[in-house]
Structure 1
Amino acid sequence: MPEANTAALEFLLSRRSRPAKTLTTPVPTHEELEPILRAGLRAPDHGKLEPWRLIVLEGRAVMDRLADLAQVRGEALDLDAEKITKGRSQFDMGNLAVVVVESPVIAEKVPEIEQSYSAGAVCLQLLNAALAAGWGANWLSGWPSHDRGFLSDGLKLSPRERVAGIIHIGTEKAAPPERPRPEMEKKVTWVSR
């Protein structure tokens, strides 16, 4: 019988993302963030392609710049005021975030969709590592994450790159209530033959 890591399993069974609007300062220092980043980079990576990279957004100056860019891009796209406000809000509230950038590699044996899944795995690894380290964390995206103008002007992404997620990390000011979870009976199918 394998030896169980009960503490890790219990963490996974009870983990809960923290709403980004409840995150505040202090945020992790570079030294505190480094093991979280290392854990994120240990995500499943079929073919050892590393089809992703990370951009750490830290401090008010970069967050304010990105919030303003979301405003400008939203207006240029003729989005309604509510959508613009929502698009810029994660940067207005944010103090530290890690952007997971999909950087697909041309590889005959590894389809691009599997590379996208790997980038999503990096997002989840970062989220769980931040929570395990005692920080509050939330995985967001939003329309700016998919707007080519925002991506090229704000994050300097190449035309082939996309944002898989933006992981906000900070100190939680309020613990969120538990939410309903999927029922196994409705989501799991057992196949024995």
Structure 2
Amino acid sequence: MDNTKTFWEAHKDVYATAVAAPMKALAAALADEFGDAKIYRPYRDVRFAKDKTPYKTHQGAFVAKGPSTGYYVQVGAPGVRVGSGFYEASPARLASIREAIVHQRHGKELEDVLAALGSAGWEIGGDRLKTAPRGYDVDHPRIHLLRHRSLNVGKSYGFEPVIHTSELLDRVRADWHEVTPLVEWVLTHARA
């Protein structure tokens, strides 16, 4: 609630021991299977933001499997959240993703992956256009996917008791395995 430098400096040790160290330990335990994670810094980039609060209110870690594509975990005020997908794409990369979405077989594969994840409780998200992207018919059967400029899935654990136990590692590992088909689809079809 007190997002000031004075408060931060007085409680930096709490961040280091109760937030950063457990996140680093979780990431390290997953590294052999998924790869090394980037642990995000607690400082916000406020140069162009209207909100000038200097510190993040969550701690995240990201395992990159390709450009802007991989696995994510964060802990914050709402609890623990996991996710996966791609968070941005160059115009060429986005064009190749859309080309795969239009393709009869590859587009159906993505639909099936997302349907299975949705049925398993994953929220499908990402930055989307309000209209059809230029050059695509608004009546295309996968227009809902073609509108995506980023595509991710996420699941929140909230404050379930598991987040305070060693079982959290198993849960994150299982969820990241569950979303691996989405990561693999993006890596297969996103060129450049």
Does the alignment reach a TM-score above 0.5? no
Q: Which has the higher contact order (CA 8 A, sep 6+)?
A: 1
TM-score (norm 1): 0.29
